[in-house]
Amino acid sequence: MVGLLGFGLTLDPKKIPSPLIGKPAPEFSLNMLYAPNEMLSKKDFLGQVWVLNVWASWCVSCRAEHVFITDLASRNLVKIVGLDYKDQPEDARRWLKQFGNPYSASLMDIDGRVGIDWGVYGVPETFVIGKDGNIKYKHIGPVTKESLEKEVIPAIKALLG
C-alpha cells in the first residue's frame, strides 16, 4: 500500500496520456500564417513523417523550448509544422520574426477547435505523425534538451526506418 502510494508520488498528474497514440491524426484544414488565403490539411502530409508543434506567442514556456525546436529543425530529419494556437496572427508573425522561424509551415488555429481535436490542453505540445497519418508520439509541455535527444528524436528516427 505504501509502495503504491510512493510510486504514485513519482507520477505527474499534469501529464495526461493521449488516447490518440496509434490512432489517425484528426482531420484538419487551416489557413497558413504567412499566406492567410491558402490552406493546408492533413492529406498534404500523408506519406511522410512529420512533427506538429503547438505553440503561441503568449506562451512563456514556448519561448523556453524554442531553441530545441530550432535545433530539431536544423537536423533536417522531418518537416516541423507550427500550429499557432488561440493566437493573433500579427503577434505570431512578430514572435517568429523576433525569435526565428523553425517551421516548414505555420498554421493558424485561432479559436482552438483543431486543438480540441488533437486533445491539446496546454501549450506547448508536440506530436510526431507517421507516414500512415497516425499519431505515433506526443510530448506534453516544453521540449527540453534531454527530452529532445531521449524521446522526440528517437521517436522520429524509429518512424523514418
Partner 1 sequence: MRQWRLSLIMGLLAFSGLCVASVESYQFKSPQMEAEYNQLIGELRCLVCQNQNLSGSNADLAKDLRRQTHELLMEGNSPDQIADYMVARYGDFVLYRPPLQNNTLLLWLGPFVLLLVVIVLVFVKMRKKQVLVAPEQAAMEKAKQLLSEPQEK
Under the binding rule (CB under 8 A), the answer on residue 8 touching partner 1 is: no
117 binds partner 1 (CB under 8 A): yes
Contacts 24+ apart (CB under 8 A), 63-69: 63/99, 64/142, 65/124, 65/142, 65/143, 65/144, 66/99, 66/100, 66/102, 68/142, 68/143, 68/144, 68/145, 68/148, 69/102, 69/126, 69/143
Q: Does 133 bind partner 1 (CB under 8 A)?
A: no
91 binds partner 1 (CB under 8 A): no
Q: According to the binding rule CB under 8 A, does residue 6 interact with partner 1?
A: no
Residues 6+ apart with CB under 8 A from 66: 99, 100, 102
Q: Looking at beta carbons only, is 58 or 99 nearer to partner 1?
A: 58
Compose the 21-60 pattern: x for residues touching partner 1 by CB under 8 A, - for all others: ----------------------------------------
Q: Are 61 and 142 a contacting pair, CB within 8 Å?
A: yes
Per-residue contact flags (x/-) with partner 1 for residues 67 to 86, judged by CB under 8 A: -------------------x
Site of interaction with partner 1 (CB under 8 A): 13-14, 16-20, 86, 111-113, 116-119, 121-122
